[in-house]
């Protein structure tokens, strides 16, 4: 019989084969140092390299290692959800597999949890390891997100944090398919505190987040936590309709007083093109929401599990 873990790590892995051994060497030591019954739930997010083989080998050697392998790449947010579903600890800590989140911080996180906090966020002190362009874009996005969303997200907060069981259950009860975790963490609330840490260079390989993936994430974030863009497009629409009405009235009066004149093609063209542009923009905004509504109403399962390794036989869903 294994003791019920007090602490679960959740580690999303996408093509991390080259770095996993050194990750587990450090994370395993950090868990040993805590002296708590612990487990690590690795989620293989449809990796195309030897990640699953490496993880299975780890699981064969260390009973604390559990592996959930997804049927394809679902993205980190969904991989995290799968990990939360499979973690049984009283507290759960999502942590990156690339050692950018120092496992040694666990002792501080656990200490704050013991003091009675439900959420302990590990805030990154600075983003010196990120390329400048990404840093600027991410700052801009963060500012925008804080403006438009109803829930504040502390700057520097990522997925690296400790969450007590009730927090995990609250997150698991959120059924949305489009998961912007940063917003969801903030939305559930709970008694929250922070500790700080320095980000390290990625231990192996490159960031799994290209520009397109980041853009999609940002858009998901704004659209799932704010309807401001929708409201903005209707306000814009109303504004232009009013202006158009006034301009139309003025044109009619001028024609009555001065007779018709053919020139005016330019102004007509400008107005038509401008309004066309605004309409397309608004349609686009509506489309962004509609597409997400469609994804949600289909109510597909969030992820599909291909295999599980290292779990007690009664686990399953
Ligand atoms: N990751 C994942 N699925 C993906 C992309 C990333 O599970 O589709 C994992 C990845 O293996 C790593 C963590 O998410 O453990 C963070 O990814 P990465 O280091 O590429 O992101 P960054 O640190 O650049 O934000
Ligand atoms: Mg990283």
Query: What domain count does the chain have?
Result: 2
- Judge if the beta carbon of residue 75 lies within 6 A of ligand 1: yes
Residue 287 lies in a domain: yes
Of residues 130 and 116, which shows the higher confidence score?
A: 116
Contact between residue 149 and residue 139 where contact means Cβ atoms under 8 Å apart: no
217 alpha carbon – ligand 1 mean position (Å): 13
> 307 and 201 in one domain?
yes
Which range (147-151, 162-166, 256-260) has the least confidence?
147-151
Of residues 303 and 269, which shows the higher confidence score?
A: 303
Residues 232, 234, 240, CA angle at the centre, nearest 5°?
A: 100
Q: Could you tell which of 14, 15, 49, 199 is best to mutate to test the pocket of ligand 1, judged by most ligand atoms within 8 Å of the CB?
A: 14
> 97 and 76 in one domain?
yes
Q: What is the pLDDT of residue 128?
A: 65
277 alpha carbon – ligand 2 mean position (Å): 39
> 284 and 199 in one domain?
no
Element (H, E) at 158: strand 157-164
Q: What is the pLDDT of residue 94?
A: 95
Binning pLDDT at 50, 70 and 90, where does residue 283 land? confident
Give the mean model confidence (pLDDT) for residues 112-131. Answer: 83
> 104 and 25 in one domain?
yes
Cα–Cα distance between 94 and 4 in angstroms, integer? Answer: 18
> 174 and 109 in one domain?
yes
Residue 44 lies in a domain: yes
Residue 123 lies in a domain: yes
The whole domain housing 201 covers 7-210+301-315
> 164 and 233 in one domain?
no
Give per-residue pLDDT as tens, 153-176.
Answer: 777 778 889 999 999 999 999 888
Q: Report helix, strand or coil for 292.
A: helix
pLDDT of residue 237 exceeding 80:
no
Q: What is the CATH number of the domain that holds 19?
A: 3.90.550.10
Residue 135 lies in a domain: yes
Q: What percent of the chain has pLDDT over 90?
A: 31
How does DSSP assign 10-72, residue by residue? Answer: EEEESS-HHHHHHHHHHHHHHHHHHTS-EEEEEEE-S-SSTHHHHHHHHHHH-TTEEEEEESS
Q: What is the pLDDT of residue 1?
A: 45
Most confident of 23-27, 210-214, 244-248, 284-288: 23-27
Q: Whose CA is nearest to atom 2 of ligand 1?
A: 76
Residue 117 lies in a domain: yes
> 239 and 192 in one domain?
no
203 alpha carbon – ligand 2 mean position (Å): 9
Residue 20 lies in a domain: yes
Of residues 69 and 209, which shows the higher confidence score?
A: 69
- What's the mean pLDDT when you consider all of the chain? 83
Give per-residue pLDDT as tens, 79-115.
Answer: 999 999 999 999 999 999 988 889 999 999 999 999 9
> 232 and 134 in one domain?
no
Give per-residue pLDDT as tens, 58-69.
Answer: 999 999 999 999
- Judge if the beta carbon of residue 118 lies within 6 A of ligand 1: no
């Amino acid at each position: 019989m294994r003791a019920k873990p007090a602490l679960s790590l959740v580690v999303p892995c996408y093509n991390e084969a080259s770095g996993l051994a050194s990750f587990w060497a450090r994370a395993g030591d950090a868990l040993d140092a805590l002296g708590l019954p612990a487990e690590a739930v690795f989620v293989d997010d449809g990796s195309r390299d030897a990640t699953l083989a490496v993880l299975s080998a780890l699981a064969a050697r260390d009973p604390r290692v559990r592996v959930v392998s997804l049927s394809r790449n679902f993205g980190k947010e969904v991989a995290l959800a799968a990990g939360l579903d499979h973690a049984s600890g009283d507290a759960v800590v999502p942590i990156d597999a690339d050692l950018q989140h120092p496992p040694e911080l666990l002792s501080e996180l656990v200490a704050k949890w013991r003091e009675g906090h439900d959420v302990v966020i590990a805030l990154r002190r600075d983003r010196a390891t990120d390329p400048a362009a990404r840093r600027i874009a991410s700052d801009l996005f963060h500012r925008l997100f804080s403006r438009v969303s109803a829930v504040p997200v502390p700057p520097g907060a990522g997925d690296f944090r400790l969450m007590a069981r009730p927090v995990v259950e609250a997150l698991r009860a959120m059924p949305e398919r489009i998961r912007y975790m940063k917003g969801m963490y903030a939305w559930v609330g709970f008694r929250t505190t922070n500790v700080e840490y320095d980000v390290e260079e990625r231990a192996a390989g490159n960031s799994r987040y290209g520009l397109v993936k980041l853009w999609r994430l940002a858009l998901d974030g704004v659209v799932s936590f704010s309807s401001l863009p929708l409201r903005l497009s209707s306000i814009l629409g109303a504004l232009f309709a009013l202006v158009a009405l006034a301009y139309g009235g003025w044109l009619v009066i001028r024609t009555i007083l001065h007779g018709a004149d053919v020139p005016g093609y330019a102004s007509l063209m400008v107005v038509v093109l401008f309004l066309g542009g605004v309409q397309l923009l608004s349609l686009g905004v509506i489309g962004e929401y509609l597409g997400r509504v469609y994804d949600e109403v289909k109510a597909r399962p969030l992820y599909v599990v291909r295999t599980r390794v290292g779990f007690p036989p009664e686990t399953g869903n």
